[in-house]
Amino acid sequence: MYEAALTLSVISLLGVTLYYVRMPAFSVFHPLSFYLLFHGFIFVFRPVIAHLNDFQFIYRLYQFTPSYEDKLTVILASNLGMIAFAFFSLQAGHNPMRFKQDTFAVAERNRLVATAMWVLAICLPIGAYSLQLTWERATADVSIMVMDAGTGTFINTSGNGYLAEAQLMLATACAMIGWLFRFRLLALMPLAAFVIFRAGTGGRGPFVSAAVCLGLLYLYEHRQRVPSPRVIGLALGLIGLFAVIGLDRGESVRALVSGSEVEQVGLQSDDQKWLEGMDFGNLEYFEYLVYAVPQRTGSYEYFANNLMLFTEPVPRVLWPGKPVGSPIKFFELFDYGFPIGMTRSLPGEGWTQLGWLGVIIWCGLWGLGLGTLYQKFTNGTQTTFAVLGYMVLMSTLVVVFRDGSLVTIMRQGIFYFAPILLWKLLSSQLGVPLAAPLRAVAQRRLRMAKAAAAAAHDPEPSASPGSAMPAAVQIHVPPAVARRRAKLAELKQAHSA
């Protein structure tokens, strides 16, 4: 029966994908494209590999054994979430991708380069300092995060969380530099440096987001709805780098930069199979959630953990008694195993909140929200800030789909979008002319010119006394010009008489 469920999962993915590919909205810029890639790898391809190779690593680590029904539930629920996301995202975002860049948009971006340099002068030093601190902690094998024994949640007790996460601004800043300077080799050097130093800390998500964002900007600039073979090749190389760094959490990169010898660390057992590790273990994580909720917890979370949106931004230094995790809890997952480092994924989060109905609600709401944003982007004017902001959002979706929580996008979005918001605020204060008003003026002048040209060939007499222009056109003529034309008309009449 489980094999039949895996087969059904493959058929479902192919069916939704084929339907989506035939729709006008299909492009790499649609959020459904990212979700199908995530779902296809995590909940379709890897479960087949896990079943064939009998993955047991995470089960042993988490100290639980899912039942046959638990494993079957995860496959069916993940597919239900995929269908719900696809349906609502396509209902809300059904427009074909529109590239609205024109000469005005290009000129706007060129005018904004100066203010972008000021923004980079502010964000790059802060981000670089944050990255340096993380590098030093990784080299010394010191962490400012402490695991709460009761909940398994990592909390920051000795450092500033905002400073620790400020390095995320570098992802957006590097994409900005590459885009503003036309993807020249020199403009890609900051991104290469960020990839190396962030990889050396063991963290991979931010540099992957930066590279994906720059790739989307490149495709947008060249009006390509789907990636070219070159972009696909670079993406595969990025995935390979992601996997290599995960083997020793960046120690090889740190050794390469410092010139020291690589010290092998046992983060991964020698008998661990391909894809069996925790990097892509959302299948087992979801199975743990089904194993615990509500069979052993006796309750769901009922979306109460979203209250962290209000408590999470407050630094623990200012709130010594700040709750660990959600301020309202119905159970602790660590009471039923050892789910360290677990990410719930979008359908797993929905299951934890309200079971089958929660999967439909949570995945459907995310599909609806992201589809609406896509629709607004395609219908909008696509300013420089809107284009960069949308591409940054799309590049972080895989992390959001993996974690499944609103808190993730809030926690990281503050820093990913900080350079864009600062750029827009500074440009507004300095009065940098934007494309929209200039485009409106040009369109109005064009309409006036067309109306004047039509009036010059109009044989009908003027509807306004003393003018050779029709009344519909005369309203656009300055008063001084109208008076001169009326005076000339009177002189012509007197001369002919």
Q: What is the DSSP string of 353-412?
A: HHHHHHHHHHHHHHHHHHHHHHHHHHHS---HHHHHHHHHHHHTHHHHHHH--HHHHHHH
Partners of residue 147 on adjacent β-strands = 154
Residue 285 has pLDDT above 90, yes or no: yes
Asked if pLDDT for residue 351 goes beyond 90, the answer is: yes
Whole-number mean pLDDT of the chain? 86
Q: Please tell me the pTM assigned to this model.
A: 0.85
Residue 485, domain member (yes or no): yes
SS3 at position 38: helix
DSSP annotation of 275 reads: T
- Residue 44's nearest CA partner among 71, 79, 4, 15 is 79
Summarize the confidence of residues 266-295 as an average pLDDT: 85
Residue 92 lies in a domain: no
Higher model confidence: residue 256 or residue 366? 366
**For range 13-19, the mean pLDDT:** 97
Alpha carbons 227 and 218: distance in angstroms, whole number? 10
Q: SS3 of 155, please?
A: strand
pLDDT of 462 strictly over 50: no
Residue 470 lies in a domain: yes
Q: How many domains does the chain have?
A: 1
How far is Cα 334 from Cα 39, in angstroms, rounded to an integer?
Answer: 26
Residue 475, in any domain of the structure: yes
pLDDT of residue 373: 97
Report yes or no: 269 and 57 within 8 Å, Cβ to Cβ. yes
Q: Sort strands 145-147 and 154-156 into parallel, antiparallel or unpaired.
A: antiparallel
Residue 396 has pLDDT above 80, yes or no: yes
Structural domain contains residue 484: yes
- Residue 234 within any structural domain of the chain: no
pLDDT band of 411, cuts 50, 70, 90: confident
- 126 vs 61: CA distance, rounded Å: 38
pLDDT computed for residue 435 by the predictor: 87
pLDDT digits (tens, 9 = 90+) for 126-172: 999 999 988 888 777 666 555 554 555 555 555 567 788 899 999 99
For the residues 31-55, what does the mean pLDDT come to? 96
Q: Among residues 82, 120, 170, 111, which one has the least CA distance to residue 437?
A: 111
pLDDT > 70: percent of the chain: 87
Burial 23-58 (b: 16+ CB within 10 A, else e): eebbbbbbbbbbbbebbbebbbbbbeebbeeebebb
Residue 342: the pLDDT is 92
Residue 278: both structure tokens together: 């925790």
**Interatomic CA distance for residues 241 and 60, integer angstroms:** 27
For residue 269, pLDDT beyond 90 = no
Over residues 396-425, mean pLDDT: 92
Alpha carbons 421 and 307: distance in angstroms, whole number = 25
If pLDDT is split at 50, 70 and 90, which confidence band does 266 have? very low
Residue 446 domain flag: no
Are the C-beta atoms of residues 97 and 24 closer than 8 Å to each other?
no
Report CA torsion sign: 120, 385, 198, 226: negative
Specify the 3-state DSSP secondary structure of 235.
Answer: helix
| pLDDT interval class at 330 (50, 70, 90) | very high
Helix residue ranges, H only, 93-204: 103-111, 113-140, 161-165, 169-180, 189-200
Mean pLDDT of 102-111: 92
Instruction: Average the pLDDT over 209-235 and give the result.
Output: 89
pLDDT over 70 (residue 363): yes
Nearest residue to 387 via CA among 195, 172, 136: 172
Which is it for the CA torsion 345, 351, 354, 356, positive or negative?
Answer: positive
Q: Residue 471: its pLDDT value, please?
A: 44
What is the share, in percent, of the chain residues with pLDDT greater than 90? Answer: 58
In sequence order, which residues have a C-beta less than 8 Å from that of residue 39 and are 6 or more positions away?
A: 13, 78, 81, 82, 401
* Structural domain containing residue 478: 462-497
Task: Answer whether residue 7 is part of any domain.
Answer: no
Rounded (5°) CA angle 266-271-277: 70
Per-residue pLDDT at 442: 85
- Model pLDDT, residue 78: 97
